Amino acid sequence: MNPTILVTGGAGYIGAHACVTLIAAGFTPLVLDNLCNSSAESLRRVGRITGVEPRLIVADIRDAQALDALFAAQPVAAVMHFAGLKAVGESTRDPLRYHDNNVAGSIGLLQAMQRAAVRTLIFSSSATVYGEPGFEQFREDMRCDPVNPYGRGKWMIEQMLGDLAASEAGWRIAALRYFNPVGAHASGLIGEDPRGAPDNLMPAITQVAVGRLPKLRVFGGDWPTPDGSGVRDYIHVMDLAEGHVAALRHLLAHDPTLLTLNLGSGHGISVLQMLRAFEQVLGRALPCEIVARRPGDIAAYWADPTLAANVLGWRTQRDLHAMCRDAWRWQQANPRGYASA
């Protein structure tokens, strides 16, 4: 019997890709998602890719009864906890909604895990927990001082995980700090499908390419970086998903532990470099305009991925070209995302 892994938020962008890698690695994903930012179509597509459509329970992580029923109905070997709201700007406008969904939601999930004696967890954290440490390369032992409610929520949850692991024996926890996930499964069947205007660079680029947006707005051309645009560490979503399977295998095979790991490539790519790489894949230039910096953005950062390499034996495999090629394949085949189906 393949061990069952509860995947909260599994219908979303990263969660659906994680389901593909879990199935390929011999696990059975069981998805719990309230579909507030996703559609069940993503899981039907996972079924087309893998031959196994993950079971979906449409419920909220704040619904204790639904969680208790789920844990009572089958043995669960571990939880991958992706469910959360993720728009930084929105979190500054509506912090209570973010803390209720992300922080209180995580507390509810952890309490249900405790009641069910399921103590293996992989948590979606974020590079936003670091804030502005004054260094460009972020390492796990740096002081965290997030600068917005979204990042503060992730940091609160990480601290709570530390308290929990210290208070009760048996917890196996990995808090994975993602850098900037982009790209899509190479089939083009699943990918990033933001509702409303995209908040991130890659969906903005692909939506310009497909004609949904008139031009790309580049926020700031006067950053202290080689070409003046912001620099980030982009990671192919399939590399990220494989990092989760590596973390899961590690947790299941080792003594109880609390790991905090960066998942990034270790390389900084500028917005304009990303745009040029995408244009090469596309075979034409895209309209773009440099506009004012966005409040809260910083010039440049990227991951130090050494710890994840040493602990998990995992590192990124897919390059910038693959990120652009796969993102474009997805958007071209699904110009309106899953609603194109």
Ligand X SMILES: NC(=O)c1ccc[n+]([C@@H]2O[C@H](COP(=O)([O-])OP(=O)(O)OC[C@H]3O[C@@H](n4cnc5c(N)ncnc54)[C@H](O)[C@@H]3O)[C@@H](O)[C@H]2O)c1
In 3D, which of 124, 241, 234, 126 has the Cα closest to residue 182? 234
Helix (H, G, I), strand (E, B) or coil at 26: coil
Of 150, 178, 234, 338, the catalytic one is 150
33 binds ligand X (CB under 6 A): yes
Q: Is residue 86 within the footprint of ligand X (CB under 6 A)?
A: yes
- 219: number of Cβ within 10 Å: 16
Binding residue for ligand X, selected from 149, 181, 198, 266, defined by CB under 6 A: 181
Stretch that binds ligand X, among 57-65, 110-118, 277-285, 302-310 (CB under 6 A): 57-65
- 57 CB contacts (<8 Å, ≥6 apart)? 30, 31, 32, 33, 66, 70
* Count of residues in contact with ligand X, rule CB under 6 A: 29
178 in active site: no
The residues that bridge with 131 in the sheet, in sequence order, are 145
Query: Sign of the CA dihedral 12, 151, 251, 244?
Result: positive
Q: Which of 5, 6, 14, 175 binds ligand X (CB under 6 A)?
A: 14
The burial of 146, by beta-carbon neighbours within 10 Å (0-12 exposed, 13-18 middle, 19 or more buried), is given as buried
Q: Which is nearer to ligand X, 124 or 262 (CB)?
A: 124
Q: Which stretch binds ligand X (CB under 6 A): 20-28, 33-41, 277-285, 298-306?
A: 33-41
Q: How far is the CB of 3 from ligand X (least distance, A)?
A: 22
Stretch that binds ligand X, among 68-76, 83-91, 215-223, 304-312 (CB under 6 A): 83-91
Closest CA to 236 of 294, 277, 293, 282: 277
Determine, following the binding rule CB under 6 A, whether residue 183 of this chain makes contact with ligand X: no
Written as one string, the DSSP assignment of 250-263 is: HHHHSSSEEEEEEE
Q: Does residue 61 belong to the site contacting ligand X (CB under 6 A)?
A: yes
The least distance separating ligand X from the CB of residue 215, rounded to whole angstroms, comes to 22
Find the binder of ligand X among 27, 82, 234, 301 (CB under 6 A).
82
Determine if 120 is a binding residue for ligand X (CB under 6 A): no
Binding site for ligand X (CB under 6 A): 8-9, 11-15, 33-38, 60-62, 82-86, 101, 105, 124, 126, 178, 180-181, 200
Q: Which residues are catalytic?
A: 150
